[in-house]
Amino acid sequence: MTYAMKPLGCDPAKIQGMSERLIVSHYENNYGGAVKRLNLIDEQLAGLDYAQAAGFLVNGLKREQLVAMNSMILHELFFDGLGQQSAPGPALHDALAKDFGSFERWQSEFIAMGKALGGGSGWVLLSWSGGTPILALDMYEHSYHMDFGAKADGYVEVFMNAINWHNTDRLFQQLGSGSSMGT
């Protein structure tokens, strides 16, 4: 299967607090790079004779495939999660309050996790039932350094004010609202 870049899920000129240059660069270079990398790995795997291939080769390619696939999926979720400031719908708001004690407590935890990753690398995810992410905050330096330098805290605050809750609500509704949420 050949993967293609999903169209940018937000208008990069309208994300308050992030430059269009940052978003477009992040989309083209980092997300686009993950998609290209995944396609190259899949090409290598398609040509592999598994019966004859060394175990370390199969293991390495499959591991890299997983890393590239996760990067592609999480970047898509990240960009789809950006938009104009909004609020979660009632069902998602209630689920967050139920599972975290309050919406504000979830928000505080999500922000703290993002800030804790500043200067490092990783993702902060809101996941439905512990396994399916519905909101993603990219904390790798490529996602904020161009606009914020080493000030990851400012980037996290801007992200929180730019969440497109309509997309997160849509994913939450698609998955069902009966199970717990996790950060």
- Which among 112, 148, 109 has a CA at the least distance from the CA of 17? 148
User: Do 149 and 107 fall into the same domain?
Assistant: yes
- Out of 52, 80, 108, pick the residue that ends a domain: 80
Whether residue 1 lies inside any domain: the answer is no
User: Do 69 and 25 fall into the same domain?
Assistant: yes
- The answer to whether the beta carbons of residues 106 and 96 sit under 8 Å apart is yes
The b-or-e profile of 43-68 (16+ CB within 10 A means b, else e) is eeeeeeeeeeeeeeeeeebeebbeeb
- The answer to whether the beta carbons of residues 74 and 138 sit under 8 Å apart is yes
Cα 136 to chain centroid, rounded = 3
**Per residue in 132-173, pLDDT tens?**
999 999 999 999 999 999 999 999 999 999 999 999 999 999
**Per residue in 83-110, pLDDT tens?**
988 899 999 999 999 999 999 999 999 9
Cα 29 to chain centroid, rounded = 15
Res 178 pLDDT > 70: no
Give the residue numbers spanning the domain of 118: 90-182
User: Which pLDDT value is given to residue 123?
Assistant: 97
> Sign of the C-alpha dihedral, residues 24, 28, 30, 32?
positive
Q: What is the model's pTM? A: 0.91
Whether residue 137 lies inside any domain: the answer is yes
